[in-house]
Amino acid sequence: MIPLSKNKDDVVYLSVNLRRIKALVSVDVNKNKVTVLSCTKKNQCLYEECFEYCEVAISARNYVTGKTPKAEIKEVGGEVLVGIGEYRVGVGIILKTIGLGSCVGVALYDSHENVGGLAHVMLPGNSSNGNTKYAGTAIEKMLNDMEEMGAKKRRIVAKLAGGAQIFKHMTLDVLKIGDRNIQSIEEKLEDEKIKIVAKDVGGSVGRSIFFNTFDGSVLVRYSNGGEKWL
C-alpha cells in the first residue's frame, strides 16, 4: 500500500477523473470499502450502489492498494464543514456547507496555489462588528485569509450557489432575502474585482455545496435529490 494522508478514522478522500467522469470518493482503508460520494455520471450509472464493477470505484481501490489506476487521482485532505454564517479556507480539502435556503454559498479559488475559501452567507450588507454572516464582511475576511495562505487576489475567481425563495407566499421585496443576498454578494465581488465564473442561484429549492479545492470544482446538491456541477 502506498503512503496516504489519513484522518483519525483512516478514511481517505480522493478526487477521481476518469475520461469524462469526475467523482469524489472516500475509501475506508481498514475495511477496504469504497464509497462514491458524488459523480457526474450519477444519472446514467448502471450501478445504483456503486458495486465493484464501477470503474471509478475500481480505480480508487487500485490507488489505495498500490496498483496503477486508469484514472487521474489526487488525495483530498478530508471534509471541513462550514457552518451557518461562517467561512473556512484551506488547501487540498473539501469545503462543504449544507442547508442553503435563502443563504448563499460563496466559493473563492486561486487555481495557481489551490487555495480555496467557502462562506455561508446569511444576510446582505456589512457588519459593524466583524460578524461573518453578512455578505461583505465574510468576503473581505475570506479574501484576507486566502492571501495570507499565498493566494493572489488578481487570480481569485468566484462561484455562487443558493439564494432560494423557499416561502413563495412572501411577496414583499424586503422579505426576499435570497435575492438581496445574491445582489449584495455580486456587488461586493464586483467592488473587489473578483470575477464570477459560475453560479446557480434563485429558485425555490434548498441546496448544499461541496467545494473541491484541488481543482476548484463545486458540486451543488439540491434538497429534491438533484445535482449540478459548477
Q: Cα(121)–Cα(130) distance, rounded to whole angstroms?
A: 13
Say which of 39, 50, 54, 103 is annotated catalytic: 103
Q: Cα(37)–Cα(187) distance, rounded to whole angstroms?
A: 34
CA nearest neighbour of 61 among 47, 48, 51: 51
Determine phi and psi for 165, rounding to 5 degrees.
-100, 85
Distances (CA, A) of 186 to 26, 47, 83, 124, 213: 34, 40, 21, 10, 22
Q: Cα(42)–Cα(48) distance, rounded to whole angstroms?
A: 8
Task: Give yes or no: 39 in active site.
Answer: no
Sorted by sequence, the CB contacts under 8 Å of residue 86 that are 6+ apart come out as 119, 120, 132
Q: Which residues are catalytic?
A: 103
